[in-house]
Chains A and B, each alone.
Chain A
Amino acid sequence: MGTTKISGAEAVIRCLLEEGVDLVYGYPGGAIMPVYDELYKFKDQLHHVLVRHEQGATHAAQGYARATGKVGVAIATSGPGATNLVTGIADAQIDSTPMVCITGQVGKHLLGSDAFQETDIIGISTPVTKWNYQVTEASEIPEIIAKAFYIAKSGRPGPVLIDITKNAQFDELDFSYEKCTGIRSYNPVPKLKLDKVAAAAELINKAKKPFIVFGQGIILGQAEGQLKALIEKSGIPAGWTILGLSALPTDHPLNVGMLGMHGNYGPNLLTNECDVLIALGMRFDDRVTGNLATYAKQAKVIHFDIDPAEIDKNVKTEVGVLGDVREALDALLPLIENNKHEAWHNIFKEKHKIEFDTVIKEELNPSRPGISMGEAMEMINKHSKGDAIIVSDVGQHQMFACRYAKFNSTKSNVTSGGLGTMGFALPAAIGAKMGRPDREVVAIIGDGGFQMTIQELGTIFQTRVPVKIVVLNNEFLGMVRQWQELFFDNRYASTEMINPNFVAIAEGYYIKAKKVTKREDLDAAVAEMMASKDAYFLEVMVEKENNVFPMIPTGACVSDIRLS
């Protein structure tokens, strides 16, 4: 490959283009100006979306990554620009989202001098990045950016931050680009051991009451087809974590629902009755397991994961199958005997009936006067027909969205799972829609979280990205209020919100907006929103004090799940 002399800043852009990037999110500032100057020159090849706050750039990049499976890119300047990325980086780290963040840094000669907008973003971001690196010489740029993309997307994905000093952006280098294909100290995909697969198959074939629990690993590993084939061949019911949601269509007969704190009754209860628990690409988060001391103790646990550090981390496994989940399931499938576990599956159906009668029926068709969050979700289902990408924020509405949204296809549920970042959804929806312009993208947000990144309405206005924004407004920080009601004797400390006129704010950004307060207006309003070719803001006034049930209180046992 021939070389040409270009500036470090131009090299950054050329590296991004080499990696197939056509869209980046960011916010300019002093220490990143040379890169922005090149973005100007390359604007026909690389589209830059100006967000309104750097946190928005990270969440938009995450939304893009989660909806497309590609690496999201965010750019910011040094100092506050860089520190504003941290929440999104931490979110991407805990939710294994491939993202590359590029930050400007003061010149090399100023490092350590407390220069204007100097901050040690390498030090700050170390615990929340998969990898980070400070570039101080222009010549390092191609190799480091190639490594950044390789690390971000390989193995268990995650965020990478590259900090580039200003001199390295200005200085020239002989440019040539070679994609990174391996790093000697890094083994992203452990080699699959066929004896482990065989041991897993034997346990599965012998099981009387097997239960599959799957997570985002299925989506990241593009193993949705293998998951479905396994379930159908073995006849094993399957439950999901909220990041696994949409990997299996909602209406699949063997999809028995959501695990964890606000998950479905059956899958939680029966986790403690199954004889073999088959975990696929999930990490036994505490919100899924409740008290580990009483979690699935009767079961033999088989754990498929790409990350060796996850095996036996929280739950002791009988068989740990390390490696790429798609390859592992391809190897497993021929060893699995055709089976039907009808009697066992019927117990899930019975439990579902109990949950339906005591919780779901009332939630979706309330006898109460106020609009429930569940019925709002059901109305979105009616008009999306399960084809939309649902981007939810964090709180009660998120649990209602995950519990009640219908999905026909994968990569359709985008939410902040591990970190629980309020303010995630609005910018993430921008990224999801830009990544998948062919799909309807509906953000479901609470009145609290909406106000954490409300400034991104400006990005929606400027880019005309046609996202649909639904704010379920209960004038409370609802999830915290629910805990205050249940565990803090109704002491509603700082959870009531006196809100502004959201419709006027949306209209201030020239976004079509409507507010619904009555049940009879909901259907038409959702229909109008979904039919809109442009961005649309819909505020739904919901009951002030509704609770999400079922619920496993923190630290309780999964089988102690409460229906009320």
Chain B
Amino acid sequence: MENRTFTISVYSENNVGLLNRISGIFLKRHINILSLNVSESEIDNVSRFVIVVETTEKWVKNIVGQIEKQIEVIKAFYHTDEETIYLENALFKIHSNLLFDEKQIQNIIKESQSTIVTVSRDFFVISKSGRRSEIEEVHAKLKPYGIMQFVRSGRISVSKEKMEVSTLLEELKK
């Protein structure tokens, strides 16, 4: 079985220590987490983890099984890239003088559909949302001019198919 990129979505209670418990499942199997994002979900008081890994389907099944087994996990799913809508967000902090001295930078912002978040006397900040490759492309274009700071978020994604968590919670309440 070949390695592929999988997005694991975990719906859980919002409890201290659960992140450690979930990351330990990857650690035990020596599988590197490519990206991790934890946020609220569409359900009140339920957290959602989005974890990206590159591994085989056999392993991702095993991992999702182990994640679901954790007491505070409500449900876990895995999807391939084709089965999800996903993006990441990046921030670029750049010297303000470049915005005026280097005309090309404004073109890069326009063409890549990035936005300027803030401009101050010393620096300005560009935000770019999109797939990893699109962010990398912007990064490559800006790099020659000098980037003061760069940061990219973990992947966030929604599945194309339904993930039946709300109904599951309703059933469990009965």
Contacts and interface: CB of A to CB of B under 8 A. Distances in A.
Interface of A: 122-123, 126-127, 130-134, 151, 183-187, 307-309, 312-313
B111 to A, nearest CB: 46
Nearest to B21: A126
Contacts of B24: 126-127
A216 B13 CA distance: 31
B2 to A, nearest CB: 18
Interface stretch (B66-74, B87-95, B140-148): B66-74
A17 B106 CA distance: 72
A151 B28 CA distance: 23
A309 B66 contact: yes
Query: Interface on chain A toward B: helix, strand, loop, or mixed SS?
Result: mixed
Nearest to A309: B65
Contacts of B74: 184-185
Interface in B102-153: none
A131 B71 contact: yes
Given A309-B65, A313-B62, A123 B20 contact: yes
Nearest to A186: B71
B71 A130 contact: yes
15 contacts: A122-B17, A126-B17, A126-B20, A127-B21, A127-B24, A134-B16, A184-B74, A185-B12, A185-B13, A185-B172, A186-B71, A186-B72, A309-B62, A309-B66, A309-B69
Contacts of B85: none
B162 interface: no
Given A132-B17, A184-B74, A185-B12, A127 B65 contact: no
Contacts of B13: 185
Nearest to A133: B17
A307 B69 contact: yes
B173 A309 contact: no
Contacts of A186: 71-72
B71 A183 contact: yes
Contacts of A309: 62, 65-66, 68-69
Contacts of B28: 127
A313 B65 contact: yes
A185 B73 contact: yes
Contacts of B61: 312
B169 interface: yes
A187 B172 contact: yes
Top 6 A-B pairs, shortest CB-CB distance: A309-B65, A185-B74, A127-B24, A131-B71, A184-B172, A186-B71
A184 B21 contact: no
Interface string B43-69: 000000000000000000110011011
Contacts of A184: 74, 169, 172-173
Contacts of A134: 16-17
Contacts of B12: 185
A84 B21 CA distance: 21
A432 B157 CA distance: 51
Contact of B68 (A151, A183, A308, A313): A308
Given A133-B17, A185-B72, A309-B69, 4 more contacts: A122-B17, A134-B16, A151-B71, A185-B172
Nearest to A151: B71
Contacts of A131: 71
A151 B69 CA distance: 12
Contacts of B21: 126-127
Instruction: Give the interface centre of B20, B169, B173 by most chain A CB atoms within 10 Å.
Output: B20
B49 to A, nearest CB: 13
B31 to A, nearest CB: 14
A496 B173 CA distance: 60
B77 to A, nearest CB: 14
Contacts of A122: 17
Interface string B1-33: 000000000001100110011001001100000
Contacts of A151: 71
B15 to A, nearest CB: 9
B172 to A, nearest CB: 5
Q: Which of A131, A133, A184, A308 has the most CB of B within 10 A?
A: A184
A90 to B, nearest CB: 12
A25 B24 CA distance: 29
